[in-house]
Homo-oligomer: A and B are copies of this chain.
């Protein structure tokens, strides 16, 4: 068995409390401090986290729930969330829920079991009966007025991108997006598109169905084939936009066909072209999610919605 705090105390000839204080920034005289240090080293002592958490109820780990970590947006988000949590000494449990509602419901159990102190979630399902003060924040999803939602300025950003297309002369602007299964800020992208069409008296031409990650290319292909007369497409994700890009003859791009994407986070994957895009600030989203959740855990009041500004990036496709 590994050494316990008691073993350290015995070897250093001090009380367990003194060792505990040594471990937790308490005041310990320098001679004892040194004896404890030596004892810890010679025993190879490592504090047992379960015991510590059981007793102290301190901040534990955080769970991140995503539909699938294989999707670039979510793997990027996972990376950032992990980094911000790590900076604060908090570990991240990742749940790739694949839309499985039973799995997503476990966020409640994990908190109840005190396995994690809280959750950052972006799920496919609504979780019923969340307590008002549940230690949960969401990205994009609306779970209710008391559960904070961190999101980009989807509506305004989409409108700005669409206006940009309009100013560039586009009058046959299509929209492709993936429809979320739950109330989500993502819907604001379509809402902006529809409002935009109404404003300029344009005929809306769009595809907005629910599909799995991996279907982007097929969805884009079907949309373009069904609507050959477009002069531009506003896409709800990078993956859709790259698909449209691949499906369009290079000679037409920019001059006679424009593409704008939403997300703007896949430059590491698709370095061969800089898409014109509404770039979500995933780092800021992650940071805000972490901060709001920690505030909430600390009992501070939190808002219903936190909006992170996007950046419009002029690339080579619009």
Contacts and interface: CB of A to CB of B under 8 A. Distances in A.
Interface string A76-100: 1011001100100001111110100
Contacts of A110: 91
B83 A79 contact: no
Contacts of A70: 72, 75-76, 79, 268
A115 B213 contact: no
Contacts of A272: 217, 243, 246-247
A79 B72 contact: no
Contacts of A78: 69, 75, 78, 94, 96
B269 A46 contact: no
Contact of A113 (B49, B93, B113, B247): B49
Interface size class of A (residues with CB under 8 A): 35 or more
A267 interface: yes
Contacts of A239: 269
A271 B215 CA distance: 8
A195 interface: no
Nearest to A68: B79
A214 interface: yes
A260 B70 CA distance: 23
B46 A113 contact: yes
A30 interface: no
Q: How many copies are assembled?
A: 2
A93 B91 contact: yes
A46 B112 contact: yes
A96 B76 contact: no
Interface stretch (A11-19, A50-58, A168-176, A202-210): A50-58
Nearest to A49: B113
Interface in A191-228: 213-214, 216-218
A44 to B, nearest CB: 8
A114 interface: yes
Contacts of A218: 271
Interface in A152-170: none
A2 B92 contact: no
A48 B57 CA distance: 11
Given A48-B54, A69-B69, A72-B269, 15 more contacts: A46-B109, A48-B113, A48-B114, A54-B54, A69-B79, A70-B75, A70-B76, A78-B78, A79-B96, A86-B103, A93-B93, A93-B94, A213-B268, A243-B272, A247-B272
